[in-house]
């Protein structure tokens, strides 16, 4: 009794025996019977036959193989909505074969590339909704997780989720694990994986400018993302042959439903040019890069180390100069303290001179004091002006007492018993000289302070620039060292492969030698046997 398969099937429904049909998409075999795995329409496709009449055989041939069985398959109901477009291309068996070619993935599997939308982010992971698996728009949104250790392949400890994804971003990722019962585990560690579409805070579609930045073309603001490397081919999302702008793609992702059948492709405004194959990967950004030869890398590393040593020597020299400047500053402070103590002693001088007797020669009014006395007054006035302009605190009491004693001794030496009175010394000419000395002292002090501040600024700027250069050189050396280590690791792996191949070849050569020895022994035994047989026949 022949049974006709149903036109519609539900999961678990019997379609027919395995002796009459071959299992197709949406079916499974159980105990010599075929059952439906999906809810949808049942299609039976006949096997292809060779065109033209069969040729007659004129020689003995083995028994012919059994005839091919028709294939039975179950397709989802959403494929039936394309019947109108399929009618334009063809009908009947052509439409059925076209539907069979449109095989889709019902659930994401490990290794599939998916497109998903970021729902929310946490410091440890990003929660996404999987919208597209391969070239198929999924009926339902499956939830997935992109953990912080799966964002990049290098420098995983420096990855920040908020610097890689934002809610609403469209991300291309790869399924690395089926995860738990509610979430798939996704990864964007490869160069071609990451954010493919992002919208700025102003609501504009941004364009990628580097491997970790998007830029708003209208406002010019940049935002951090884990950018996917552009692909030379367009990623198709569904069935129709249409290409949309990035803004249209952003609006379409918000309206994806279970009956979505439109095909969307991410098309960038610029020309996408990428290398077909990359053999090395940059340890800093993760993009593919061609490493220079080992000799050039070694020479660059040595030159960088030499430059770093030179910069360190310059930094040490600048530190020595800075310490010398600090020492000079301390000497200047000590000198100012001494001048301040001399000022205090000069303020006590009029009281001491009033007790001394006045010689008769002073009443007559000598024209000018002695040169030593004039020089002493000039230096004391300069010291007095310097002390008045000083901003430092007075010295310690013990040092001040010692300095006062020394100054009193000097004053006793300079003050002769016949020295003129103080009123005669402060003549109008001396006052003019004092004012001129005061102005010169002020100008010199301002100039010295300006030079000192300028020198301090230059030392600080030079130190900052040298430290920045040193940091840049150290970073460049680290990057070069990482590239060199990657190159050395690749060479070591190649060397290990060569050693394994040589071992296999040596073992093969040993086996050949043993076989050759066995064959030679067999030949010798055969020759000996032939000789013995000949002797017996002759006898």
Q: Model confidence over 513-531: pLDDT tens digits?
A: 999 999 999 999 888 887 7
Which of 130-144, 179-193, 221-235 is the least confident region?
221-235
- For 526, other C-beta atoms within 10 Å of its C-beta total 10
- Phi, psi for 141 (deg, rounded to 5): -90, 110
Among 130, 89, 43, CA closest to 241:
89
Residue 105 tokens read as: 């993935």
What secondary structure letter does DSSP report for 151? S
pLDDT above 80 for 361: no
What gap in Å lies between CA 143 and CA 119, rounded to an integer?
A: 9
Question: What's the chain's average pLDDT?
Answer: 74
List, for residues 175-206, the tens digit of each pLDDT value.
Answer: 999 887 788 999 999 999 999 999 998 889 99
Burial (Cβ within 10 Å: 0-12, 13-18, ≥19) of residue 226: buried
What gap in Å lies between CA 247 and CA 198, rounded to an integer?
A: 10
What gap in Å lies between CA 318 and CA 415, rounded to an integer?
A: 49
Q: Which residues contact 187 (CB under 8 A, 6 or more apart)?
A: 146, 150, 151, 173, 174, 176, 193
Q: How far is CA 95 from the centre of its chain?
A: 50
**What is residue 435's predicted lDDT score, i.e. its pLDDT?**
86
**What is residue 405's predicted lDDT score, i.e. its pLDDT?**
63
**What is residue 262's predicted lDDT score, i.e. its pLDDT?**
33
- Phi, psi for 34 (deg, rounded to 5): -105, 135
Q: Which value, in Å, is the radius of gyration of the alpha carbons in the chain?
A: 49
What gap in Å lies between CA 421 and CA 365, rounded to an integer?
A: 10
Contact 36, 104 (CB under 8 A): no
Sorting pLDDT into bands at 50, 70 and 90, what band is 87?
A: very low
What gap in Å lies between CA 453 and CA 317, rounded to an integer?
A: 20
Q: Which helix (H) or strand (E) holds 131?
A: strand 125-133
pLDDT above 80 for 101: no
Sorting pLDDT into bands at 50, 70 and 90, what band is 412?
A: low
What secondary structure letter does DSSP report for 148? G
**What is residue 215's predicted lDDT score, i.e. its pLDDT?**
92
Task: Tell me how far CA of residue 493 lies from CA of 296, 487, 498, in angstroms.
Answer: 21, 10, 9
Contact 168, 199 (CB under 8 A): yes
Residue 49 tokens read as: 């036959």
What gap in Å lies between CA 26 and CA 106, rounded to an integer?
A: 9
What gap in Å lies between CA 430 and CA 425, rounded to an integer?
A: 8
Q: Which residues contact 311 (CB under 8 A, 6 or more apart)?
A: 466, 469, 470, 473
Contact 95, 86 (CB under 8 A): yes
What percentage of the chain has pLDDT greater than the value 70?
Answer: 63
User: What's the start-to-end Cα distance of the chain, in Å?
Assistant: 84
**What is residue 124's predicted lDDT score, i.e. its pLDDT?**
92
* Residue 227 bridge partners (DSSP): 195
pLDDT above 70 for 383: no
**What is residue 400's predicted lDDT score, i.e. its pLDDT?**
55
List, for residues 477-510, the tens digit of each pLDDT value.
Answer: 999 999 999 999 999 999 999 999 999 999 999 9
What gap in Å lies between CA 270 and CA 240, rounded to an integer?
A: 23
Three-state DSSP class for residue 171: strand
Residue 56 tokens read as: 């007659």
CA 83-16-29 angle, 5° bins? 95
Contact 254, 217 (CB under 8 A): no
- Phi, psi for 125 (deg, rounded to 5): -165, 165
Q: Which residues contact 452 (CB under 8 A, 6 or more apart)?
A: 329
What gap in Å lies between CA 374 and CA 380, rounded to an integer?
A: 10
Q: Which residues contact 56 (CB under 8 A, 6 or more apart)?
A: none
| Rounded mean pLDDT, 350-377 | 47
List, for residues 446-485, the tens digit of each pLDDT value.
Answer: 999 999 999 999 999 999 999 999 999 999 999 999 999 9
């Amino acid at each position: 009794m022949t049974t006709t398969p149903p036109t519609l099937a539900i999961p678990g429904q019997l379609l027919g025996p395995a002796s009459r049909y071959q299992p197709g998409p949406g079916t499974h075999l159980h105990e010599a019977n075929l059952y439906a795995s999906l809810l949808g329409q049942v299609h039976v496709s006949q096997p292809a036959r060779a065109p033209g009449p069969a040729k007659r055989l004129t020689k003995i041939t083995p028994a012919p193989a059994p005839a091919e069985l028709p294939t039975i398959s179950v397709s989802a109901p959403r494929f039936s909505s394309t019947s109108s477009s399929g009618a334009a291309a063809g009908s009947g068996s052509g439409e059925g074969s076209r539907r069979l070619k449109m095989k889709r993935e019902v659930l994401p599997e490990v290794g599939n590339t998916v497109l998903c939308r970021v729902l929310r982010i946490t410091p440890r992971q990003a929660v996404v909704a999987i919208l597209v698996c391969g070239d198929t728009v999924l009926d339902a949104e499956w939830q997935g997780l992109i953990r912080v250790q799966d964002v990049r392949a290098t420098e995983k400890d420096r990855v920040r989720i908020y610097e890689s994804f934002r809610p609403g971003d469209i991300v291309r990722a790869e399924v690395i694990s089926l995860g738990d019962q509610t979430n798939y585990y996704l990864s964007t560690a490869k160069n071609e994986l990451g954010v493919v579409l992002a919208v700025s805070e102003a609501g504009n579609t941004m364009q990628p400018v580097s491997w970790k930045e998007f830029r708003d073309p209208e406002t010019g603001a940049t935002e951090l993302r884990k950018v996917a490397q552009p692909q030379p081919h367009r990623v198709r999302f569904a069935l129709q042959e249409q290409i949309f702008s990035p803004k249209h793609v952003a609006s379409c992702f918000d309206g994806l439903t279970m009956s979505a059948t439109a095909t969307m492709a991410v098309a960038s405004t610029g020309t996408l040019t990428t290398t077909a194959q990359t053999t090395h990967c940059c340890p800093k950004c993760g993009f593919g890069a061609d490493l220079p030869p080992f000799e050039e890398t070694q020479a660059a590393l040595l030159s960088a180390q030499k430059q770093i040593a030179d910069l360190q020597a310059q930094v040490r020299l600048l530190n020595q100069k800075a310490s010398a400047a600090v020492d000079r500053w301390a000497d200047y402070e000590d000198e100012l303290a001494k001048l301040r103590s001399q000022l205090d002693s000069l303020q006590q001088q009029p009281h001491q001179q009033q007790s001394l007797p006045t010689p008769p020669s002073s009443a007559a009014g000598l024209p000018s004091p002695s040169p030593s006395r004039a020089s002493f007054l000039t230096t004391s006035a300069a010291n007095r002006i310097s002390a008045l302009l000083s901003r430092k605190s007075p010295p310690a009491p013990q040092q001040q007492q010692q300095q006062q004693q020394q100054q009193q001794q000097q004053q006793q030496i300079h003050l002769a018993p016949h020295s003129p009175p103080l009123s005669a010394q402060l003549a109008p000419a001396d006052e003019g000289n004092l004012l001129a000395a005061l102005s010169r002292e002020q100008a010199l002090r301002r100039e010295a302070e300006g030079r000192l501040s300028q020198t301090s600024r230059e030392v600080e700027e030079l130190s900052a620039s040298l430290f920045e250069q040193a940091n840049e050189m150290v970073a460049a050396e680290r990057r070069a060292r990482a590239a060199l280590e990657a190159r050395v690791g690749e060479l070591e792996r190649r060397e290990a492969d060569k050693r394994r191949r040589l071992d296999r070849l040596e073992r093969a050569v040993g086996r050949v030698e043993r076989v050759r020895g066995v064959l030679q022994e067999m030949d010798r035994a055969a020759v000996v046997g032939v000789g013995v047989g000949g002797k017996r026949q002759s006898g």
